[in-house]
Amino acid sequence: MPVNRKCIIRLSRYKNALQRLKALGFVKVFSDNLADAAGATPSQVRKDFSLFGITGNRRGGYVVDELIEQLREILGKNETQKVVLAGVGNIGRALMRYEGFGGGGISILAAFDIDPAKFDENADIPILPLERMHDFISENDVKIGILSVPDVAAQQVSELMQAAGIKGILNFAPIQLRGDDGAIINSINLEVELENLIYFVNAAKKGVKE
């Protein structure tokens, strides 16, 4: 059975829910515990786990520590994931300051921009000229990139990343990017997401009135 993107998103939610349950003192959990904590159904939890050969004990449930480790391995969190960022504007700087990446096994090695006023090679996350990005990616064997450049530059910078060996791009520019056959591009358009949210909130309000 193929694994789709929604399944992977649920696995991330299960992992985060398990970490919260562990902090509360849980040593073992059942699928219904995990479903409640992650906003799923027990049958969906079991179905998702079965895709990856994860099994529990009908009476004993799942061992929390073991399950977290299994999910971390599936999600690639059992080793540090090296990332580069292009575009040190408001979104880029916010991502560079986000402390949650470290706990999630994600390390932004460097950021790149075209504005000399932003360059800082000695910062905790060095900010380097864009023309150095290709060599940096190749030399450090980086496979993941974050794109937070203006939309007019996004396709060009995306192609530079891919040419250097980047295989996955998280795109914050408000356009759809073209990728080569070996690249995966996930786009996050904050305006579209807000528009969708506004629509459903307004639709719900109208439904109540009617």
Detail the residues annotated as belonging to a binding site for NAD(+): 87-92
Q: Which residues make Cβ contacts (< 8 Å) with residue 83, sequence separation at least 6?
A: 101, 106, 107, 108, 109, 142, 144, 145, 146
Residue list for the binding site: 87-92
129: left (phi over 0), alpha (psi -120 to 50) or beta: beta
Decide: 160 and 133 in contact? Cβ < 8 Å. Answer: yes
Q: Which string of DSSP letters, residue by residue, matches 55-79?
A: --BTTTBEEHHHHHHHHHHHTTTTS
Amino acid at 61: G
Decide: 147 and 126 in contact? Cβ < 8 Å. Answer: no
Helix residue ranges per DSSP H, the chain: 5-23, 31-38, 42-51, 64-74, 90-97, 100-103, 133-140, 151-164, 190-209
Q: How far apart are the first and last CA of the chain?
A: 43
